[in-house]
Structure 1
Amino acid sequence: MKTLILVRHGKSSWDYSVDDKDRPLQERGINDGHLVSKKFASQDIAIDAVFSSPANRALHTCMIFLRQLNFPFVKFQVTNDLYDFSGESVLKFVKKLDDRFDTVLIFGHNDAFTNVANSLGNSYIDSVSTTGLVQLDFEVKNWASVTKGITTRTIFPKDLK
């Protein structure tokens, strides 16, 4: 079985005149990151690999989760494939994942993550919220075979407040 866990970056700030990749998280994004990561960590799911978009807001959200999960920072990777807003690059990335990894956690953006969650999962999600987490399970042995799976978990900040 393969498990893909999508986490959309936390609420970001538009208050700075910076490139899109450099936009920081708002305080709410940081707080929601702690809230969702704590809830997720309580599920005690073994993560084999973590990947993040290079965007500041995604990386910061990822760092909050890595600390909460006690996942070694040296074992996570940044990839431009997750700096995607349609979902096409994310889907290609997932299908090329190393089959040694059974459970993968990725950090990225909308509309990509909503599109991926809806095309690969069996539950319709109107929009993956900022800091929203969606877990998808697939009854396959390799990532290249991933098509339709089961949406087994969603954790959205609004549901924890």
Structure 2
Amino acid sequence: MKKITLVRHAKSSWSDLSLRDHDRPLNGRGRRDAPFMAKMMASKGWAPDALVSSTAKRAFTTASHFAQALGQEPGAIVKEERIYESDSATIIHLISNLKEEWEHVVFFGHNPTFTNVANLFYKDDYLSNLPTCGIVEIEDTQAVNWSDFAPPTAIVTTIHFPKQYF
């Protein structure tokens, strides 16, 4: 079985308009939500083989909270610049080229791409918007290789987002 989890970065700050979009940090709500969601997923027994993050500050900071909650060093996070400003095809390409020994990989990135990717794997529903720090789990029980990870066998199994808990 192969599993992909998409985590949209936590809420970012717009307080310093001189910053490039790539360099925006998390705001107060983001600094609350990222550790909370990370600890919640860790408490569910989450044990991903790899964390792959956009190079944008807000995404990497979110990934760092997850790494800490999962007992991993931030240095273990794979930085992937193609996630920033990507489209669905780029994410699918990244998935199909993951290391075969990895069974569960978590991607940290951005909308609208992550919402669009989630909808490719939604069997009977539609996600209008993945909220900040939202998590979409996608499983393919038949995929042996990442190149096999595709609908209709790969489907969204779970969605979590902060407002479910606050």
Query: Considering the TM-score relative to the shorter chain, is it more than 0.5?
Result: yes
1:85 CA displacement: 4.4
What corresponds to 1:128 in structure 2? 130
Match for residue 146 of structure 1 among 145, 149, 160: 149
1:30 CA displacement: 1.0
Structure 1, unaligned runs of 5 or more: none
Structure 2, unaligned runs of 5 or more: none
Q: Whole-Å Cα distance in 2 between the matches of residues 4 and 84 of structure 1?
A: 19
Greater than 4 Å deviation, 4+ residue runs:
none
Using the TM superposition, name which of 71-80 and 38-47 deviates more. Answer: 71-80
What corresponds to 1:13 in structure 2? 13
Aligned residues: CA RMSD: 1.2
Contact preservation (8 Å) 1:85, 1:110? no
Q: Whole-Å Cα distance in 1 between the matches of residues 128 and 67 of structure 2?
A: 27
1:124 CA displacement: 1.9
What corresponds to 2:161 in structure 1? 156
1:129 CA displacement: 0.4
What corresponds to 1:83 in structure 2? 84
Percent of aligned pairs with the same amino acid: 35
Q: Whole-Å Cα distance in 2 between the matches of residues 145 and 84 of structure 1?
A: 25
1:44 CA displacement: 0.3
- TM-score, normalised with respect to structure 1: 0.95
In structure 1, give the amino acid aligned to 2:55.
P
Q: Whole-Å Cα distance in 1 between the matches of residues 6 and 54 of structure 2?
A: 12
